[in-house]
Amino acid sequence: MAAPVAEPALGLYLHVPFCDAICNYCNFNRGLLDADLKVRYLAALEREIARASESTPVDTIFFGGGTPSVLTPTEVTTLVAACREAFDLRPDAEITLEMNPEGASFERMHGYRAAGVNRLSLGVQSFRDEELRRLGRLHSAARAVEAFETARAAGFDDVSLDLMVWLPEQTVAGWMESVEQLIALGPDHASLYLLELYPNAPLKEEMARGGWEQAADEAAAEMYLGGLARLDEAGYRQYEISNVARAEHRSRHNLKYWSGGEWLGFGCGAHSTRGRRRWQNVSEIGDYAALMEAGEAPIGPSRNLSDDERLADTMFLGLRLVDGVDLDLVAARFGHDPWARWGGELEPFVSSGLLVREHGRLRLTREGMLLANEVMQVFV
Ligand code: SF4
């Protein structure tokens, strides 16, 4: 008799939209911390989680933001308990909380650990003070190092650090200094994000006033490739365009986003994916809280993807992974051979070395990852 197929586990995303200060480059859904609004918001979040109750197993929870570390350990404990109450939370679930270094103290981190958080993601961004100042960040490089060491002392054996590439006035040598400092600390996971300047970012004005420039495209490419090469040498394995990890420390939650997993998002602006359905909660914090207080669903845009859109989505997201996509599996799942559909448009990228098609898989090379937006246009 065939073994029963295990029900795929869900991920839960909890959005915490508050920050102690607003960074000049940030385009996320967030606002300045307001103590009264936070109380209303957390009550709404608990209510939304309870309303979604079902028996499906859950194997990841991700507190993202905003700055989830504005929550006290007691508040995090309450939210984890709400998730456990509403879902079948697996005992080995990965529970991640994003934290800014300036809020890190032993008591707080120890409290998060006791609340069940077993993975911390620290928003370091740079180990150079002048780069952090230009971004308007509240912490210094020394504070970031201290936060990492405190996380270890508080019992976290799964810590991720975020760094940002292509900052104003950042040189290749300056970037590599940050990479070296990261390697010296030895986190279990790291994310390298390219700074994207959205049209009205205050940082743009500050750059004009200060005469700050971003390095030329070739230097940005050198930073990305050089940083990854150094991380390879140090024993990290790249698994996604922006993410590297030591063995067994890939983000199980984020992998759901790229590999056809399902998740429920709670809180303002949070996205959810179930089967072919995609929906997003209303984005404004007050609107979200008011809807929940009135006992109404906080859902904004919602739609069902067509088979065609799901196929494109699978390709688009799967190609972000270093292993790329299994073309035969995708064909079997959707009844359409993706190479027959897009091969003509993708072949030039194979010829130019941005994509590799071998052993039934299609994947980006590292050079291809640098130009991923161009390649992904094929699926839009
Ligand atoms: S702390 Fe993070 S979410 Fe908050 S404003 Fe800065 S970059 Fe944005």
Domain CATH number, residue 142:
3.20.20.70
Residue with the smallest CA separation from ligand 1 atom 6 is 23
Q: What pLDDT is recorded for position 337?
A: 93
Question: Quick check: helix, strand or coil at residue 302?
Answer: strand
Which is higher by pLDDT, 328 or 8? 328
Instruction: Judge whether residue 4 has pLDDT over 90.
Output: no
Sign of CA dihedral 169, 171, 177, 182: positive
| Residue 269 lies inside a defined structural domain of this protein | no
Q: What pLDDT is recorded for position 8?
A: 85
Instruction: Judge whether residue 3 has pLDDT over 70.
Output: no
Chosen domain end from 258, 280, 315: 258
| Residue 202 lies inside a defined structural domain of this protein | yes
Sign of CA dihedral 33, 37, 41, 42: positive
Domain extent at residue 362: 307-379
Angle at 149 (CA atoms; ends 146, 153), nearest 5 degrees:
130
Q: What distance in Å separates the CA atoms of residue 122 and residue 69, rounded to the nearest whole number?
A: 10
Q: Which atom of ligand 1 is nearest to the CA of 25?
A: 7
Q: What pTM was computed for the model?
A: 0.96
- Co-location of 124 and 206 in the same domain: yes
95 alpha carbon – ligand 1 mean position (Å): 21
Instruction: Judge whether residue 20 has pLDDT over 90.
Output: yes
- Co-location of 69 and 128 in the same domain: yes
Quote the number of domains for the chain.
Answer: 2
Q: What distance in Å separates the CA atoms of residue 127 and residue 109, rounded to the nearest whole number?
A: 21
Residue with the smallest CA separation from ligand 1 atom 3 is 66
Minimum mean pLDDT range among 46-50, 177-181, 182-186, 376-380: 376-380
Q: What pLDDT is recorded for position 5?
A: 56
16 alpha carbon – ligand 1 mean position (Å): 11
Q: What pLDDT is recorded for position 270?
A: 98
Q: Which atom of ligand 1 is nearest to the CA of 26?
A: 8
235: left (phi over 0), alpha (psi -120 to 50) or beta: left
- Ligand 1 neighbours, Cβ below 6 Å, are 19, 22-23, 26, 28, 30, 65-67, 100
Residue with the smallest CA separation from ligand 1 atom 7 is 26
- Give the count of beta carbons closer than 10 Å to the beta carbon of residue 114: 13
Could you give phi then psi for residue 226, rounded to 5 degrees?
-65, -40
Q: What pLDDT is recorded for position 363?
A: 98
Q: Which atom of ligand 1 is nearest to the CA of 30?
A: 3
Residue with the smallest CA separation from ligand 1 atom 2 is 66
pLDDT in tens, 176-215: 999 999 999 999 999 999 999 988 899 999 999 999 999 9
Q: Which atom of ligand 1 is nearest to the CA of 136?
A: 6
Instruction: Judge whether residue 248 has pLDDT over 90.
Output: yes
Q: What pLDDT is recorded for position 6?
A: 65
| Residue 158 lies inside a defined structural domain of this protein | yes
Edge-to-edge strand ranges of the sheet holding 237-240: 237-240, 243-245, 189-194, 159-165, 119-125, 88-99, 57-65, 10-16, 263-266, 271-274, 277-281, 299-304
- Co-location of 94 and 190 in the same domain: yes
What does the buried/exposed string (b/e) look like for 312-325 if buried means 16 or more CB atoms within 10 Å of the residue's CB?
A: bbbbbbbbbbbebb
Q: What distance in Å separates the CA atoms of residue 164 and residue 192, rounded to the nearest whole number?
A: 6
Q: What distance in Å separates the CA atoms of residue 98 and residue 114, rounded to the nearest whole number?
A: 16
Sign of CA dihedral 156, 157, 162, 163: positive
| Residue 371 lies inside a defined structural domain of this protein | yes
pLDDT in tens, 301-337: 999 999 999 999 999 999 999 999 999 999 999 998 9
Sign of CA dihedral 346, 347, 348, 353: positive
Chosen domain end from 258, 275, 291: 258
- Co-location of 332 and 238 in the same domain: no
Q: What pLDDT is recorded for position 1?
A: 47
CB 123 within 8 A of CB 136: no
Instruction: Look over the chain and give the mean of its residue pLDDT values, rounded to a whole number.
Output: 96
Going by C-alpha positions, the residue among 336, 337, 324 that lies closest to residue 375 is: 324
Q: Span 236-265, mean pLDDT?
A: 97
Q: Span 28-43, mean pLDDT?
A: 95
Question: What is the DSSP track for 117-168?
Answer: --EEEEEEE-S-HHHHHHTT-S--HHHHHHHHHHHHHTT-S-EEEEEEES-T
- Co-location of 231 and 144 in the same domain: yes
| Residue 293 lies inside a defined structural domain of this protein | no
Instruction: Judge whether residue 2 has pLDDT over 90.
Output: no
Q: Residue 31 carries which DSSP code? A: E
310 Cα distance to chain centroid: 21
Instruction: Judge whether residue 366 has pLDDT over 90.
Output: yes
